[in-house]
Amino acid sequence: MSLPVFFAKEITPDVKEYRLDEAASRHCIQVLRMSAEEPLQLTNGRGHCFHAVIKVADRRQTLVQILSCDHIPPRNPSLAIGIAFTKNNSRMEWFLEKATEIGVHQIIPLLCRRSEKGKFRHDRFENIVLAAV
């Protein structure tokens, strides 16, 4: 079984301990039912994979100890897809999830002449992509 991976946007390679934010802590402790001394992985989305172990299991602020950090070079060539918005928002959300799962590096939203939707919730789309990672 693979280790669970959590997104930590501001983590850097020189960090020895890290506190998960409240949403990640709740998912780790309540949903996955992890406890102290269990291993997990963190990523910052910039090519770093941190191997860690839970020091303090708390559903609001879980403290993890960083054991090691690996740098994963980006794939060459990277894959980018441009997509126009559809009327049905759930289709766009499904596309974001599946494109992330197959390894698309960049998703470019397009506003075309016949696009029926001109605005989107960036925070909602970002959360879908992070969940698919």
Tens digits of per-residue pLDDT, 11-42? 999 999 999 999 899 999 999 999 999 999 99
Query: Rounded distance, CA 102 to CA 96, Å?
Result: 10
Query: Rounded distance, CA 130 to CA 23, Å?
Result: 12
pTM of the predicted structure, to 2 decimals: 0.74
- Asked if pLDDT for residue 1 goes beyond 60, the answer is no
Give the pLDDT of residue 129.
85
Query: Rounded distance, CA 61 to CA 15, Å?
Result: 17
Query: Rounded distance, CA 45 to CA 32, Å?
Result: 22
Give the pLDDT of residue 118.
64
- Asked if pLDDT for residue 85 goes beyond 60, the answer is yes
Question: Which has more confidence, 132 or 108?
Answer: 108
Which residues lie closer than 8 Å to 1 by C-beta, 6 or more apart?
none
Give the pLDDT of residue 99.
92
Calculate the average pLDDT of the chain.
Answer: 88
Query: Rounded distance, CA 119 to CA 111, Å?
Result: 9
